[in-house]
Structure 1
């Protein structure tokens, strides 16, 4: 649970993870308002947050609903009172006993799958344990990753019939439009959201026409959730990284740099003036090795460097990272001046990928309106 601290930033041990609570709340409120206007329920994805304190701000009720990406998350959130969850990674047979234990503790944890082989395993588990395990069939929205093709009626129906005959519960279909991460134009994102919607409705209709239940039609990614214009036929939307924002999502246009709520506080520990370098104590162990922006129009190195108030320095990036050393330098070709940052000065670094950077830390130092670390919110890692 949260601990109060009220510390000025210069008393914190670096590197550490900062969370701007006002930005977090604003990002959540914006997404909720958008989805409410489209008439769908919101099931936040907690894979980025991994924190009960953040979850309680994001969810519409203390009991959920929520999405998780690991069974460690499911166990942690269930212990914190979250009751309605989807484990959003294709189920592996060896994980079914853990799923059963979480469900036995009172949580309604659903799983996803996309093959008849998995369905047969889940049906066998349901028969043996007498647990009508709820299942959503993963449908491929765009060829990005996993899922049954939305027009593959035979496979969808075979999976659905196998589940229901075996005593499991067919709860619906689930899609993730991962290819939206490669886009950067609002109209293109809106088109991806519409393609995701059509794929979801097509798959749901195939099940219903075969006499199978499909009460839940679940879609979601941060870009498609942000830019969807019509969600007719969809019952719920999942999204998660939007809460924090990151440079990759800013590169897609799904968030603004000013929306990014997460940063890493680091301290200057040296200089290589002949090379135009400032050295800080945050390397890839604090920032992660994620270089997702290298594939975008603007390469942000290992992160954008800001002052302690969170204002970016012109063209100052983490251009290289060793395990515990970060190299700050100006963007190649920049005409900006390197800021005068003496040893002991603190900077904040905006992450390329909030999920990956967050995973390097076990707590958030939560900033209040005055920029002080007003609380510590624990977060978990692992599978």
Structure 2
């Protein structure tokens, strides 16, 4: 984990931008303190529950990176009255007007960023939708809120097939955000923040001129999807689920473990990649992958381990009670199944700490 954090922080420092880590993956104040610039932040969250929990842990500079709706604005105000510099995101005129009206009522110029659609992946305003972009910017700036800037997320980077494709997506991501910032500035509107980010593009962006900060989250732990994108290696994956062998089905070539989809999640993010990793790669208790050994099926509380279809590898001898580590397809939903992390050092089996994590919205 610490190596992964150092890798991205060093890379972004070389490009002259700030890292605003997305804390939705770890949901742990102990992890947050190791990835942020300082105990106060900066940070990104995806739920107000995260914002509240991290604020209770001393984080003060937080971007709520999901489009806000009016029903959540009272919780926003409660946090800001505690001294938390919580900023919001909108991508439509109705939401911008609601934030501005709430800012006027509470006499609090809530800092708000406009979300930009840089790749058609999900939400946001397109660069060619100038009228809408300016209308949202003016509604915030003149309506009582603070137009803090623009932000975008290159979610389509997860569908790339090569590093070269990720580099293209990263270029498009930055160009869309910087271009929208220019449109707003040309209209006399303030844009102090230009925020971009996804774990793949953060690692392969070549030029971030005009960008002020990068957001990324899963890089802290990495996972099999990131390994499938060549963003990391399997050896970089810092998160695993410890499971116990509970049975065998020799005629089927199966080993049964006490970790099913409730432990691993149902995420099958590698199914569309070059190499399908089932529900996870199976390793020894020391974290060394067994040749072509996967969790091929997952029931609620039981997982089925077998050799990858088509492989000539042999099923390892794992008696009842043996421990294995399973690397996840997607670190975020796998971590979300658990209440804490157990910390071990490289090359050791000793648990040196237990870090709580939280859930909910």
TM-score, normalising length: structure 1: 0.93
Where 1:101 maps in the other structure, the secondary structure is helix
| 1:94-109 pair list within 5 angstroms | 94-109=71-86
Equivalent residue for 2:142? Answer: 165
User: Is this contact kept in 2: 1:190–1:227, CA < 8 A?
Assistant: yes
| 1:1-383 pair list within 5 angstroms | 24-369=1-346, 370-383=348-361
For residues 168-222 of structure 1, what are the alpha-carbon distances to aligned partners after superposition, in whole Å with 9 as ceiling and x for unaligned?
0000000000111011312211111111111011100010000000000000000
In the alignment, the residues of structure 1 paired with residue 157 and residue 232 of structure 2 have an alpha-carbon distance, to the nearest angstrom, of 13
In the alignment, the residues of structure 2 paired with residue 109 and residue 127 of structure 1 have an alpha-carbon distance, to the nearest angstrom, of 16
For residues 238-258 of structure 1, what are the alpha-carbon distances to aligned partners after superposition, in whole Å with 9 as ceiling and x for unaligned?
001011000011111111111
Shift of the alpha carbon at 1:152? Answer: 1.6
Shift of the alpha carbon at 1:166? Answer: 1.6
Of 178-187 and 261-270, the range deviating more from structure 2 = 178-187
Q: Give the structure, 1 or 2, with the largest relative contact order (CA under 8 Å, sep 6 or more).
A: 1
Where 2:240 maps in the other structure, the secondary structure is strand
In the alignment, the residues of structure 2 paired with residue 255 and residue 94 of structure 1 have an alpha-carbon distance, to the nearest angstrom, of 39
Of 79-88 and 367-376, the range deviating more from structure 2 = 367-376
User: Is this contact kept in 2: 1:294–1:301, CA < 8 A?
Assistant: yes
Shift of the alpha carbon at 1:149? Answer: 0.3
In the alignment, the residues of structure 2 paired with residue 185 and residue 293 of structure 1 have an alpha-carbon distance, to the nearest angstrom, of 14
User: Is this contact kept in 2: 1:151–1:202, CA < 8 A?
Assistant: no
In the alignment, the residues of structure 1 paired with residue 66 and residue 149 of structure 2 have an alpha-carbon distance, to the nearest angstrom, of 15
Where 2:267 maps in the other structure, the secondary structure is coil
Unaligned runs of 5+ in 2: none
In the alignment, the residues of structure 2 paired with residue 103 and residue 50 of structure 1 have an alpha-carbon distance, to the nearest angstrom, of 20
Unaligned runs of 5+ in 1: 1-23
For residues 257-301 of structure 1, what are the alpha-carbon distances to aligned partners after superposition, in whole Å with 9 as ceiling and x for unaligned?
110000000000000111000000001000001011111111000
In the alignment, the residues of structure 2 paired with residue 108 and residue 290 of structure 1 have an alpha-carbon distance, to the nearest angstrom, of 34
